[in-house]
Structure 1
Amino acid sequence: MDAARPEQLSPRSRSVGPDGEILLLFPADSPVVRAATHAQADELPAVLEITDVAPVSVPHRIRGRAWVSGWLTRAPGLAGPGSMMVRLEPGELYVDDLWGASPVDADAFAHADADPLVAHETELLQHLHSAHSEQVQELCALLGERSAAIAEADGTPARAVPLALDRFGLRVRFTGTRCFDARFDFPEPVTDITGLRRAMHTLFTAASH
């Protein structure tokens, strides 16, 4: 039997269905599709591992990992020629990320709303890093006594890199002799890009005074 190619084992895309099921798009000749096709009782135990990598260059770039264990079945009719959609029904979920490590309730996952910034986070972080690095650096002024903990040996501030962004705030990683993450909360949760611009302006203004 020929060894499976890497692209046959990694989904081309993934999304979450209305009932919390995870829909995974694979090449039609993927061993995953073949196994799901021949599984007895239409149930194939499986574990999906997801690695979240920061979209900007920063030490310790992996922001988190998630594991979803459940059962795979085929979902015919949801993919075009040459592809097959596979449905993963979650049984257990576990997340280990910047906010901590904990299990996730399957029902809570099914009813959770996606963060309104998730589709734009990569672009926004890269823009902050390339076009507003000085303003991001100035956020160190909001850390109070903690700012001394991240200074270089000569007293200069450590480099600041925007690490994560969601509707509640911005996380920045300060890198130097040691790494230090700081969370800057927005005055209120944002719901769109317009609200984000206002929230970021408020943060930058507070840091510059």
Structure 2
Amino acid sequence: MTRAITDRPSDAEVIATACRRADSAMLAVEVAGRTPASDAAHPGGPTTVGLVHLFESQAFLLVPTDSEVIELASGSPEGVPAMVEITDCAPIDLRERVRSLVWLNGTAHAVPRDLERDLALEIAADHPDGGLLDIGHGRSMIRLQVDNAVVASSSGAACVQASELALADPDPFWEYEGDWIAHLDSDHADVVGQLARKLPRDLRNGRVRPLGLDRFGIRFRVEGSDGDADVRLPFPRPVNDVSELSRALRSLAGCPFMNSLPD
């Protein structure tokens, strides 16, 4: 029996990770006679989302209590068609910071007020976020029943069905990846230089910046005179914890004893 080996997260895992660390997301609902692309100033326009907690084929969202989506979802037992757009940005200042875009498509449902706090406690145990403390103080919760999701990046676009998304876990390093990438970029030019030597020869003339880190490898953004290119350096095998990650980075750089990430 042949065992499938991959050097990168699945599309479903990429979406799950982007949801878990989302700090820039918008929710748009479909209303008869209007479109989800309505201007934000117009009633029914996009609503800022403070948290996206993906659980199986559902996404729990924090939105302003006075947003129209709360009224619309509360007044519709079947829910209202909706879409969440998540912008995944690099944690450092790049020429173009967007790494990927994710769209969750489905139906928005109201969460009963008397259940919000208990649900927030359950979510916080797995996905701690300060915004959950605002439940009942200007923030309310919406449940999005996800039908499918789309992810788009420099490598292309893919559609993922809810059944596949329900089985995906976020990357184990999602919570710390931003700090590690920023630290690598600002304090470890030696490591970046060693890793850059592993890139294809035609990409070595640009400015090489760390872009992302996951259990399968590290990604770089090469900012060249004629445009940008993203490239992945895979680890020999997926890593599961911080010590394995540190060893994999040092080995990939070709200096097994150099001080590297994480600290």
Match of 1:69 among 105, 123, 135: 105
Question: Relative to structure 1, is the Cα distance of residues 180 and 206 closer, same or farther in structure 2, using a 3 angstrom cutoff?
Answer: farther
2:92 and 2:74 map into 1 onto residues whose CA distance is 39
Code of the aligned partner of 1:58: L
Partner of 1:200: 249
Q: Contact conserved, 1:137 with 1:159, CA < 8 A, in 2?
A: no
Match of 1:16 among 54, 63, 68: 54
2:116 pairs with one of 73, 78, 84 = 78
Unaligned runs of 5+ in 1: 152-156
- Do residues 115 (structure 1) and 168 (structure 2) align? no
Q: Pick from 52, 56, 63: which aligns with 1:26?
A: 63
The percentage of aligned residue pairs carrying the same residue is 33
Match of 1:87 in 2: 143
Match of 2:132 in 1: none
Letter matched to residue 90 of structure 1:
V
Distance 2:103 2:158 in 1: 11
Give the aligned length: 194
Amino acid at match of 1:57: D
Deviating beyond 4 angstroms after TM superposition, the runs of 4 or more aligned structure 1 residues are: none
8 Å contact kept, 2:215–2:240: yes
Post-superposition Cα deviations, 1:56-103, rounded to whole Å, max 9, x if no partner, equal 112222111111111011112224323321000011211112442111
Equivalent residues of 1:133, 1:160 under 8 A apart: no
- CA–CA distance in 2 between the matches of 1:158 and 1:197? 26
Task: Tell me how far apart the structure 2 counterparts of residues 138 and 204 of structure 1 sit (CA, whole Å).
Answer: 5
1:168 aligns with 2:168: no
Aligned equivalents of 2:153, 2:173: Cα separation in 1: 18
Confirm or deny that 1:136 pairs with 2:192: yes
Q: Deviations over 1:118-140 (max 9, x none)?
A: 11111111111011123212222
101-110 vs 91-100, which moves further: 91-100
Distance in 1 between residues matched to 2:190 and 2:206, nearest whole Å? 12
Is residue 56 from structure 1 mapped to residue 92 from structure 2 by the alignment? yes
* TM-score w.r.t. length of structure 1: 0.84
C-alpha separation in 2, matches of 1:31 and 1:88: 15
Aligned residue in 2 for 1:150: 203
Query: What's the TM-score once normalised by structure 2's chain length?
Result: 0.68
